[in-house]
Amino acid sequence: MTRELLPIASPRRTWAALWTEVRALRWLGVATLVTAIGASAGGLVAPWVLGTMVDDIAGGAGINDTAGGAGRGPVVTAAVIIAVAALGTGVLTALSSALLSRLGETVLARLRERVLDRALHLPGATLDRVGTGDLLSRVGDDVSSVTTALVTTGPQLVSALLTIGLTAGGLFALDWRLGLAGLVAAPLYVLAVRWYLPRSGPFYARERVAVGERAQAMVSSLQAGQTVRAYRLEDEHTSAVERRSRAAMDLSVGVFRLFTRLVGRLNRAEFVGLAAILASGFLLVRADLVTVGATTAAALYFHRLFNPIGAVILQFDEIQSAGASLARLVGVASLDRPRPPAVVREPEGAGLELTGVGHRYEDGPRVLSGVSVRVAPGERLAVVGASGAGKSTLAGIVAGVLDPVAGEVRVGGVPVGELDRGRHLAMLSQEVHVFSGPLVADLRLACPDADLDDVRAALSLVGAMDWVRALPEGLDTVVGESAHRLTAAQAQQVALARLVLADPTVAILDEATAEAGSAGARDLERAAVAATKGRTTVIVAHRLTQAELADRVLVLDHGQVVETGTHADLVAAGGRYAELWRSWTGAG
Amino acid sequence: MRELTGGRLLRRSIGRHRRRMAAAVILLAGHQAAEALVPVMIGVIIDRAVGTGDTLALLLWVLVLAALFTALTLCWRHGARHGVIAMEREMHQLRMEVVTRVLDPRGHRTGLRTGEVLQVATSDAEKAAAVMHAVSMAAAATTGLAVSAVSLLTIDVPLGITVLVGVPVLVAGLHLLSPLLTRRAAAAQAAAGETTALATDLVRGVRALRGIGAQASAADAYRTSSRTALRASLRAATTTGVQQGLTAAVSGLFLAAVAGFAGWLALDGRITIGELITVVGLAQFIAEPVRVLGFAGPILARARASADRLVRVLTAPPVVAPGTRTALPDTGVTLHDVGYRTLADLNLDLAPGETVGVVGYDQRDCDALLELLAGTVPAGDYRGSVSVGGVPLAELDLAASRGMVLVEQHDVALFEGTLRSNLNAGTEHPAHTVEAALAAAAAEDIVAAHPDGLDHPVTDRGSTLSGGQRQRLGLARALATGPPVLVLHEPTTAVDAVTEERIARGIAQLRGSACTLLVTASPALLAVADRVLVLDGGRITAAGTHAELSEVDERYREAVLR
């Protein structure tokens, strides 16, 4: 199954988006351009002056016998001009480099903030379709790739391009014929690039894939070492890594071979250009059209171009890949934020009502049909059923995360679509996540205005304050994957505390205590009851004790309601639920 | 063999590719020499041809220039290829040495966590192999410097000395800013990394955020972090700008001095105009090899540090010293007076064909027991005896002990491949075995959900499957393998009550007369066990059937009837 991807902006759209951002920083943009041109132009002074000096000396050499102290004037002047130009170039280089970074970094920061905002606000259905994988690579890899390009490649590229442009201009300014001679090399450069790029792009892409596969094979073998040993898969995994490492190595060597052939072509272009300038200089000097000094300056100019031209060509690949990442970022940034409902209505009361709710995913089979149930304000309803019975789908629909194909959900008489959902509905999903950072920041995500007392109260309510106090830095302890790792039970308590802080009218718990695994499950159940006390609650029950604690139980089978009633009634009725309960308690 | 050290590892790296390395060093040195000669040649052509108008001289020297470029390009192409091939091969070899060592069936005692081992196998292998790059680069740069030095000193001794002393001093002087630059750049990178980490973290938790309507406050938190990162990048950018400006200014000033000095000499006729051009050209050129030499130092230092870490893994002793016995009279498991970690004088008997449940009140007891049964604890680390079929585990050879006892962890690890390859786990099972295992693990629906059935691809770690699906596949894998002794650790925590019930019956039926140990607190599983043992405070404190224990033991009831 190939997943759908988030949009990728067209090149035109990408440029337009960038241009809009740069225009917003107009003066910064102008200042950057002016200083960058100045800095590159400053680099042209020295070869020019050297050329003049060569002519002066050559001229002086003709009247060598009369040379005295006065003859040294031009040399001193030349040295002074070069020195002054150097100081000016230094200042302009510093300014342009800093300004260019400021411009690029600011634009990037704005872009990444927009991308994340859109990513977090993706509609539930879209998120389920694209999965988090694509989204993660946009906010992670793509942002990193553009950042790297911006910090390292970008400034080099801009200064290289300006240097090339200005130096070419300088060549023509020396003498148009010398300039033309230099241009002889241009087609060779173009050919080299046109030979290289179509070959290198796919090659690099394959190399990146191979390197990724190699890393993955290593990660998976090493992380699952225990399982590898238990099933005696050592040889199999070693040879899998060996195969991939070898494949990646062969591709890296292949890519480099291709690259050396490009460099060969660049060297050829360098030689042709340099020889052309020297040869035409020779002819022009003989015809008395230019001076030896001008030829010298032209040769030095051209020699100066070797590095920047190489730099531009060698960075083409990186620019292409950064460009691709940028298009992926702009694609997400250009998404519309979901609009809030046109009319927001306040619910009257906290009752929950489902009428004829049915659902199917895309063109798949019906996973829910004809579910109708009323949950009184403050009542706890447990939903019980086998995997695939439709429990989580029902929870998603009640929470307004999924739009049902049929039927309607109302809270206090108001359809879910017309509610301020964030205020009235909250759901704890199966995927418990602890946000990296100080624990208090994690909790405040649910309610940014909460003060420390509120946070502590929420934690106490779910019975988490004891272990929180025992953390090395209490509420300020940095938690998450790479810092202090919370146990599964603690993570669920944090999620419950977030729910308390979010303070919804209707709470939906989807298997929120499933992963606790051991005896701690009981404490979590108590915590869940405390967190949802007084709220209308729908709880997807994993453990039957969760159902036992609820006011009413709804049994789902293949998307349909087969039983509803209190725990005691259902046990007494001797139906599906009673059967489950018997085997669960070991009484059967 | 002498003990492997970081330094020896690096020498070994170069040694095992010595022919390619020799070729790389010689050819790259040739390339640098040719590069140094380009400005010399420009000077010569201006002097001998452009200045004199001698056509023959022009033809001759342009031909020499062509020859120089040919040599330059060929030297680089082949030298660099040899160098890169040697380095890539060495990286591959080092990587495989680490992987082979780490995946050794006897385990490894490196004291490193998985993440660190991974770091060694990837980044350290690459950094250590970069020694080859550093060596060839340094050799080439030294040659380039030598050629430039000879050319300069031939033209004029005092001028040559000025340039040869001046350039390294300048490069070193500009290097003074480097620590600040590195610090700021590192701070900027760290801040950018944090921002990216925050972004991925928020996206990973997007469902949790959406559940409580916290997307906007999360976006705000990200904006704050992004702005902090922006400020750090701008500080770094300012330093970079200053450094680049200084470099431009200082190298320009130096050029002015050299041009002035050389111009003076040319005026006096002590050097020719061509030589003046050569001097100026070389003064600009030699900054490059000096910088390269500056880079080579840190690369070497990093290679050395990485080599030390590689050695630590490569020379790590194995955890277990397996025995040689292979044959076993029967399949029972006996732990006699075992003390290990939190376990104290644990006695546990698992008769052939028995299904036993173990309920541990302390997770650490369970973990210690599982480790002992998995055979990953060296004989000297625990007291008492652990034996299978009457033979101490430590006396069995690895193939026998692993073939005998299989421990399927709670945290199921699946591998990239297909559903079939994961269920087979290295051994071809007949179709009916796989089907029966899937049925017992209530996992047929996972196969049935895909048109390609068992050939449906599984991504690494089964990341496209749900937690419940992973757990059931892991269970089916263990059941299909069908070892004489199967140990399952909490195999049903991620499945619902109804399915758990089916699984319990499935396990009981499929395992039939084979030995099965269920380390779990699930009442459904415990109900199908022949006996249930309660593990508390490192020893067995109660035994009986699940029904008996739930009836009489209040604490037991609390622990399992969730």
Q: Average pLDDT, stretch A501-521?
A: 72
β-pairing, B383-388 with B333-340? antiparallel
Question: How many Å is the Cα radius of gyration of chain B?
Answer: 35
Contact check, Cβ <8 Å, B206/A127: yes
One domain, residues B499 and B403 = yes
Cα distance between residue A494 and residue A486, in whole Å: 9
- Dihedral (C-alpha) B410, B416, B421, B425: value to the nearest 10 degrees? -40
Mean pLDDT, rounded, of chain B: 88
One domain, residues B232 and B280 = no
pLDDT at A242 over 90: yes
Comparing C-alpha atoms, which of B190, B490, B99, B316 is closest to residue A482?
B190
Which range, of B233-242, B538-547, B551-560, averages the lowest pLDDT?
B551-560
pLDDT at A66 over 80: no
Which range, of A65-79, A284-298, A385-399, averages the lowest pLDDT?
A65-79
- Domain presence at residue B75: yes
Q: In the beta sheet, which residues pair with residue A415?
A: A410
The answer to whether residues A109 and A23 touch, using CB atoms and an 8 Å cutoff, is no
Q: Please identify, in words, the CATH class of the domain defined by A9-61+71-175+322-337.
A: mainly alpha
Adjacency order of strands within the sheet including A425-428? A425-428, A506-510, A536-540, A380-384, A552-557, A560-565
Cα distance between residue A36 and residue A101, in whole Å: 12
Residues 76-115 of A with CB under 8 A from B: 76, 78-80, 82-83, 85-87, 89-99, 101-102, 105-106, 109, 112-113
Provide, as residue numbers in chain B, all residues whose Cβ is less than 8 Å from the Cβ of A518.
363, 490, 521, 559
How many of the other CB atoms lie within 10 Å of CB of B439?
16
- Identify the CATH number of the domain defined by range A352-585: 3.40.50.300
Angle subtended by helix axes B273-285 and B18-45, to nearest 10: 140
- Domain presence at residue B192: yes
Name the band, by pLDDT with cuts 50, 70 and 90, for residue A373: very high
pLDDT at A65 over 70: no
Mean pLDDT, rounded, of chain A: 86
What tens digit of pLDDT does each residue of B13-64 get?
Answer: 999 999 999 999 999 999 988 988 898 899 889 888 888 888 999 999 999 9
Provide, as residue numbers in chain B, all residues whose Cβ is less than 8 Å from the Cβ of A91.
245, 249
How many of the other CB atoms lie within 10 Å of CB of B140?
29
For residue A511, what pLDDT is reported?
A: 65
The helix (run of H) or strand (run of E) holding residue B524 is helix B523-527
For residue A587, the distance in angstroms to the closest alpha carbon of chain B comes to 7
CATH classification at residue B490:
3.40.50.300
- Domain presence at residue B483: yes
What tens digit of pLDDT does each residue of A382-423 get?
Answer: 998 876 678 888 998 998 888 888 999 999 999 988 888 888
pLDDT at A67 over 80: no
The more confidently predicted of residues A344 and B84 is B84
Contact check, Cβ <8 Å, B105/A234: yes
Domain ranges of chain A: 9-61+71-175+322-337, 176-289, 352-585
For residue A9, the distance in angstroms to the closest alpha carbon of chain B comes to 21
The answer to whether residues B50 and A281 touch, using CB atoms and an 8 Å cutoff, is yes
SS3 B40: helix
Residue B18, Cβ density class (10 Å: 0-12 exposed, 13-18 middle, ≥19 buried): exposed
The answer, for B11 touching chain A at a CB cutoff of 8 Å, is no
- Residue B137 phi, psi dihedral angles, 5° rounding: -65, -45
For residue A557, what pLDDT is reported?
A: 87
- Distant-in-sequence, close-in-space partners of B146: CB < 8 Å, separation ≥ 6: none
- Domain presence at residue B168: no
One domain, residues B211 and B106 = no
- Residue B531 phi, psi dihedral angles, 5° rounding: -140, 155
For residue A1, what pLDDT is reported?
A: 40
CA distances from A234 to A237, A240, B102, B104, B373 (A): 5, 10, 10, 7, 19
Q: Average pLDDT, stretch A172-177?
A: 89
What tens digit of pLDDT does each residue of B66-96 get?
Answer: 999 999 999 999 999 999 999 999 999 999 9
One domain, residues B397 and B474 = yes
For residue A70, what pLDDT is reported?
A: 45
pLDDT at A517 over 80: no
The answer to whether residues A444 and A500 touch, using CB atoms and an 8 Å cutoff, is no
CA distances from B50 to A167, A370, B279, B306 (A): 22, 95, 18, 54
Residue A227, Cβ density class (10 Å: 0-12 exposed, 13-18 middle, ≥19 buried): buried
The answer, for A242 touching chain B at a CB cutoff of 8 Å, is yes
- Residue A349 phi, psi dihedral angles, 5° rounding: 90, 175
What tens digit of pLDDT does each residue of B322-381 get?
Answer: 888 886 777 789 999 999 988 998 999 999 889 999 998 887 888 899 999 988 888 888
For residue B221, what pLDDT is reported?
A: 92
Nearest CA in chain B to A137: B200
Total domains present in chain B: 3
pLDDT at A2 over 60: no
The answer to whether residues A157 and A310 touch, using CB atoms and an 8 Å cutoff, is no
Which range, of A109-118, A259-268, B227-236, B275-284, averages the lowest pLDDT?
B275-284
- Domain presence at residue B164: no
- Domain presence at residue B167: no
pLDDT at B463 over 70: no
For residue B9, what pLDDT is reported?
A: 94
For residue A588, what pLDDT is reported?
A: 44
Alpha-helical runs (H) found in B315-430: 363-374, 398-404, 419-424
Which range, of A37-51, A108-122, B425-439, averages the lowest pLDDT?
A37-51
For residue A459, what pLDDT is reported?
A: 94
SS3 A340: coil
pLDDT at A439 over 50: yes
The parent domain of residue B277 ranges over: 6-156+271-314
- Domain presence at residue B504: yes
Name the band, by pLDDT with cuts 50, 70 and 90, for residue A64: very low
Share of chain B above pLDDT 90, in %: 38
β-pairing, B333-340 with A560-565? unpaired
One domain, residues B283 and B235 = no
Helix and strand totals (H; E) in chain A: 22, 12
One domain, residues B412 and B554 = yes
β-pairing, A506-510 with A536-540? parallel
For residue A117, what pLDDT is reported?
A: 93
Whether the CA torsion A247, A248, A249, A251 is positive or negative: it is: positive
CATH classification at residue B118:
1.20.1560.10
Q: Average pLDDT, stretch A572-586?
A: 81
What tens digit of pLDDT does each residue of B380-399 get?
Answer: 889 999 998 888 888 888 88
Cα distance between residue A329 and residue A142, in whole Å: 7
Provide, as residue numbers in chain B, all residues whose Cβ is less than 8 Å from the Cβ of A229.
103, 105, 107, 374, 376, 402
Comparing C-alpha atoms, which of A131, A149, A504, A546 is closest to residue A317?
A149
The answer, for B413 touching chain A at a CB cutoff of 8 Å, is yes
Helix %, strand %, coil % of chain B (to 5): 70, 10, 20
Which range in A158-162, A428-432, B55-59 is most confidently predicted, on average pLDDT? B55-59
Share of chain A above pLDDT 90, in %: 42
Comparing C-alpha atoms, which of B405, B155, B383, B106 is closest to residue B258?
B155
For residue B245, the distance in angstroms to the closest alpha carbon of chain A comes to 4
Residues 320-359 of B with CB under 8 A from A: none
Residue at token pair 């020799």: B22
Residue at token pair 């300056």: A297
ipTM of the complex: 0.85
Q: Average pLDDT, stretch A84-108?
A: 92
Q: What would you measure as the largest C-alpha separation in chain B, in angstroms?
A: 115
Share of chain A above pLDDT 70, in %: 93
Question: How many Å is the Cα radius of gyration of chain A?
Answer: 35
pLDDT at B228 over 70: yes
One domain, residues B355 and B411 = yes
For residue A366, what pLDDT is reported?
A: 83
For residue A373, the distance in angstroms to the closest alpha carbon of chain B comes to 22
For residue B358, what pLDDT is reported?
A: 94
How many of the other CB atoms lie within 10 Å of CB of A342?
7
Alpha-helical runs (H) found in A439-484: 439-444, 452-461, 465-470
| Chosen domain end from B262, B281, B299 | B262
Name the band, by pLDDT with cuts 50, 70 and 90, for residue A238: very high
What tens digit of pLDDT does each residue of B497-547 get?
Answer: 778 888 999 999 999 888 999 999 888 899 999 999 999 989 999 999 999
Residue A131 tokens read as 């999965």
Comparing C-alpha atoms, which of A214, A205, A191, A210 is closest to residue A317?
A205
SS3 A446: coil
One domain, residues B379 and B308 = no
Instruction: Check residue B4 and report its DSSP letter.
Output: P
Cα distance between residue B163 and residue B157, in whole Å: 10
Name the band, by pLDDT with cuts 50, 70 and 90, for residue B310: very high
Contact check, Cβ <8 Å, A446/B214: yes
For residue A586, what pLDDT is reported?
A: 59
Contact check, Cβ <8 Å, A286/B242: no
The answer, for A236 touching chain B at a CB cutoff of 8 Å, is yes
Contact check, Cβ <8 Å, A253/B499: no
Side-chain-side CA neighbours of residue B134 (13 Å): 21
- Domain presence at residue B552: yes
Which range, of A196-205, A347-356, B296-305, B456-465, averages the lowest pLDDT?
B456-465
Residue A429 tokens read as 């999903």
- Residue A432 phi, psi dihedral angles, 5° rounding: -80, 135
Residue at token pair 């040919």: B70
